[in-house]
Structure 1
Amino acid sequence: MKKTTAINISETAKRTLQVEAAAINGLQQFIDHDFEQAVEIIARCAGRLVVTGIGKSAIIGQKIVATLNSTGTPALFMHAADAIHGDLGMIQQDDVVMCISKSGSSPEIKVLVPLVKSFGNPLIAMVGNTSSYLAREATLVLNTTVTQEACPNNLAPTTSTTAQLAMGDALAVCLIEWHGFTAADFAKFHPGGTLGKKLYLKVGDLSRHHQAPRVHLHSPLQEVILEISSKMLGVTAVLDEQEQLSGIITDGDLRRMLEKNIATDTVTAKDIMSTHPKVIQKDELAINALEKMRQHDITQLLVLEDKRYIGIIHLHDLIREGII
């Protein structure tokens, strides 16, 4: 399609965002008794929330279903057009149905609503016209009325679908709090990808892939160098006679010691180690190790099991796993 008029792209984009932001802010006035009842009905139902719609509202419905499923509320999507050709069988006795529509009067919606009601399931309408057929027939109404679309012709679903999406998020967040859904619960449903790893991957899962470099307080310099070099982590722990952690030596400590031009034949680990090394427990989340490294501007932490030294977690481990 050929461009026919000059536009100010930045101004158009900003105006679009302003219109949609105002619409979302305006939804606050529609958080009423019906909304509260909808949250309670969904939270208490023994089945699932079946979300349906047509056109752009159907796409929004699929996103809402995805959000609900990932946050502990069982949900499924049923396309309104397919429903009347067999997919109505998706609705079970204990389910709640939510129909999303801007107009509330689409032909498919008018056919679908009586069929859903004949099953006896509660019907929630997320609708942009509270005088519509869908709103009149529904058990509860979630009002997503907007004054205008961001589209310059006031036709393409833009502001209206944004409002539906935001109302769906409000519903989902209320259900998260209702069920006391935690980050640990979230991790169970998101085991893949970077997000999942941040929620479940632990320090011990990474440190076990390394050898645990160690020397003792009176280990000579040559032994310290060989241990750091052979384990290829740029660091070694220093243990006392009872195998308790006393300190840490990094390759940086070795360089600084050599710069002093001191006699190296009598140097032991105790002479060059840093006391009070930064440590982390093996059962802590790997993302916590990253935060600790950033806080102290270091690239590795000594890993403990209670008070016992068991290994190293390095910044490269976190990079490799996509935590960073």
Structure 2
Amino acid sequence: MTSDEILDLAKDTIFTQSNSIKGLADLLTTDFSEVVHQIYNSKGRVIITGIGKSAIIANKIVATLNSTGTPAIFMHAADAIHGDLGSILKDDVVICISKSGNTPEIKVLVPLIKNFKNTLIAITGNVDSYLGKQANYVLNSYVNKEACPNNLAPTTSTTAQLVMGDALAVSLLKMRGFSSKDFAKYHPGGALGKTLYLKVSDITINNMKPKVSPNANIKEVIVVISENRLGATAVLENDKIIGIITDGDIRRMLSTNDNFTHLTAKDIMSENPKTIANSALAVKALEVLEQNDISQVLVEDEGVYAGVVHLHDLIKEGIL
């Protein structure tokens, strides 16, 4: 295949899937809202089961629900009939995912679940299937064709199942009033977690707090900036921030003055510098830097100078 043919095939795959996903909105019925209420009001967990590629999708939906405040566990359909049915408790809601709804494992599993009297929800592309007819509620994930050229490999159908699961998770998230703070509780690790809980104070506590007086000579300013390695220093008067001097300010001063012995910090500082509260999230500091095209921002703690946050600090923490 030529490069153009490969690109054309990739585009066809994307267009085929995107068009099918758009069609899901027209397949939604009141069953969807009933399912959301069933799960929301349940005292148990959501058990999600499937086989083959549907089992993989079930795993992902479980992960999404757990991370957004809805307790869920995965149960493989094949393992269920060999002992894992014991994981289903009386208050649990069971979601069974199957494109055809007629696989042998599903036909064996469904009656067993119904014997437990648990609410059974089907995510299937065939509402007239065995699963579709036995379920208490049906979420129609029908697609008219797979993206696979042979219309065989689960591609569009599994995408549709995943989207239906995401729609459930988002609806439940909204009903629970699940906030970014709640999200942070479940995602404390990695860059994602840090954007939700890392504060400016967590950075400044490890940084030096460079400062000079307005009357400091240029040599003193250069020494302070160099020693603290933050590329800037605050200029304080009566313990209040009145300006900032960056290494860029020093370079500009040197390029325009052959003799700078008479200059002081007040002569070259930038007045009214951007500041951020020590209690603010670190990601807010990044916003300040990006919006103002600067590399450092001064930090205040209830009006008192508390240090400097440099762009490099945020990169090191994985915020950027």
TM-score interval for Structure 1 and Structure 2 normalised by the shorter chain = over 0.9
| Structure 2, unaligned runs of 5 or more | none
2 CA distance for matches of 1:312 and 1:130? 60
Match of 1:318 among 287, 300, 314: 314
For the structure 1 residues 251 and 156, does the alpha-carbon distance in structure 2 shift closer, same or farther, using more than 3 Å as the test? Answer: closer
For the structure 1 residues 93 and 223, does the alpha-carbon distance in structure 2 shift closer, same or farther, using more than 3 Å as the test? Answer: same
Alignment of 1:1-324 (within 5 A): 8-240=5-237, 242-261=238-257, 263-324=259-320
Structure 2 letter corresponding to 1:111: V
Identical counterparts, % of pairs: 58
Q: Is the partner of 1:8 in helix, strand or coil?
A: helix
1 CA distance for matches of 2:32 and 2:165? 11
| Structure 1 residue 263, shift from structure 2 partner | 4.8
| Structure 1 residue 205, shift from structure 2 partner | 0.9
2 CA distance for matches of 1:253 and 1:106? 71
Structure 2 letter corresponding to 1:270: K
Structure 1 letter corresponding to 2:293: D
| Structure 1 residue 158, shift from structure 2 partner | 1.4
Structure 1 letter corresponding to 2:284: N
Per mean C-alpha deviation after superposition, the further-off stretch among 270-279 and 77-86 is 270-279
| Structure 1, unaligned runs of 5 or more | none
Structure 2 letter corresponding to 1:133: Y
The structure 1 segments of at least 4 consecutive aligned residues displaced by more than 6 Å after TM superposition are: none
Q: Is the partner of 2:126 in helix, strand or coil?
A: coil
2 CA distance for matches of 1:304 and 1:186? 27
| Structure 1 residue 204, shift from structure 2 partner | 1.2
Structure 2 letter corresponding to 1:206: I
Structure 1 letter corresponding to 2:314: L
1:104-137 alpha-carbon deviations (Å, 9 max, x no partner): 1111111111111111110001111111111111
2 CA distance for matches of 1:178 and 1:145? 26
Q: TM-score, normalised by structure 1?
A: 0.94
Per mean C-alpha deviation after superposition, the further-off stretch among 77-86 and 228-237 is 228-237
| Structure 1 residue 262, shift from structure 2 partner | 6.2
| Structure 1 residue 145, shift from structure 2 partner | 1.3
Per mean C-alpha deviation after superposition, the further-off stretch among 221-230 and 310-319 is 221-230
Structure 1 letter corresponding to 2:295: T
For the structure 1 residues 15 and 262, does the alpha-carbon distance in structure 2 shift closer, same or farther, using more than 3 Å as the test? Answer: closer
For the structure 1 residues 96 and 260, does the alpha-carbon distance in structure 2 shift closer, same or farther, using more than 3 Å as the test? Answer: same
1:215-258 alpha-carbon deviations (Å, 9 max, x no partner): 11222333222211221222111111x21111111222223333
Q: TM-score, normalised by structure 2?
A: 0.95
1:52-97 alpha-carbon deviations (Å, 9 max, x no partner): 0111111110011111111111101000000011111111111100
Instruction: Tell me how large the CA RMSD over aligned residues is.
Output: 1.8
| Structure 1 residue 299, shift from structure 2 partner | 0.6
Structure 1 letter corresponding to 2:86: G
